Amino acid sequence: MLNYYNKKIVIFLMGPTASGKSELAMILRNYLPIELISVDSALIYKNMNIGTSKPTDIDLLNHPHRLINLIDPGNLYSVSNFRHDVMIEIKKIFKMNKIPLLVGGTMFYYYILLHGISILPKSNLSLRKKLLYYSTIKNDNFLYRYLSLIDHDSYKKIHPNDIQRIIRALEVYLITGKKMSFLKKNILNIFPYQTIQFAIIPKKKYLYNNIKNRFYYMLHQGFELEVKKLFYRGDLNMKLPSIRCIGYRQMWMYFLNNISYDEMIKLSITSTYNFSKKQITWLKTWKNINFLFDTNINILIKKILKIIYYQYLFFK
């Protein structure tokens, strides 16, 4: 039996939406001394359970996931927040003499974790709320035009609808007096641990059917009511990252009478599938990754355990 405790390694379990990552990660806890950390920008939100395919309460009781249910849907959570939080959780798990297994499909979070992030000021919640308030009372592009005046390089790289990144760029400038595009040139905090990386890549037809069936199951579970509760809170809108999550955005558009119910379903499924293809495209550019093309859970487990065993032996 391997002695897992002498070496600090972190396991990544990545893959597109609806590829079965979460289920596989929970089963792997029966074979490995691992603790799970969610790497999903949608699972951080409270009261957004059905549409994000969040693990059930029973699953979370038996297989706790860190970095789930962190913030209210009305708040913002940056990639720097994630990196700060995940590093804390990784250290806690090592102190338990266990292995951190990061599971989720937010590829940008993994990328920043591996390749480092610029040293930027911590988020100022009060300032962020003010900027978010201005974005709701002014016209749609007010903050975006303001950014073009103070940091044109960031302005060119950020989509006008990406309110979270717009606010972050403005926040950095207002706190430091320096452009975020300038500060981001100095990359620090490269990931200090060795990793064993896996990516589940199902066949396109299998993935599409999973996405389609999963969305209809969400509707059966009460997804419409879940979004309706958020809709009638009165303080949320489609500019927020939480409501821009696939499924929530389309349901929101349905409530606004912008699209029909059938269009909402079609757009949700199509958008999810298109997003999954982008996730796969990104993963195929990565180095040092073990691709898993099987869909049988038992075969996947055997392959993962074998790879972990042999790769682990060569780590110093």
Going by the annotation, the residues of the binding site for ATP are: 15-22
The number of residues making up the chain comes to: 316
What is the dihedral sign for C-alpha 193, 115, 93, 37?
negative
Q: Which residues contact 164 (CB under 8 A, 6 or more apart)?
A: 76, 78, 241
Q: What b-and-e string marks burial along 194-203, b requiring 16 or more CB atoms within 10 Å of the CB?
A: ebbbbbbbbe
What the block records as the tokens of 253 is 């558009």
Burial of residue 218 (CB within 10 Å: 0-12, 13-18, 19+) is: buried
Residue 122: strand, helix, or coil: coil
Helix-helix angle 223-231:248-255, to 10 degrees: 70
Residues forming the annotated binding site?
15-22
Residues forming the annotated binding site for substrate?
17-22
* Furthest-apart CA atoms within the chain: distance in Å: 62
Q: Which residues contact 57 (CB under 8 A, 6 or more apart)?
A: none
Residues 204-208: contacts with CB under 8 Å, at least 24 apart:
204/277, 206/295, 207/16, 207/18, 207/19, 207/273, 207/276, 208/273
Q: DSSP state, 45?
A: B
Nearest 5°: the CA angle 171, 172, 173 is 90
Q: d(Cα 250, Cα 268) in Å, to the nearest integer?
A: 6
Strands (DSSP E) found in 228-292: 289-292
Q: DSSP state, 177?
A: S
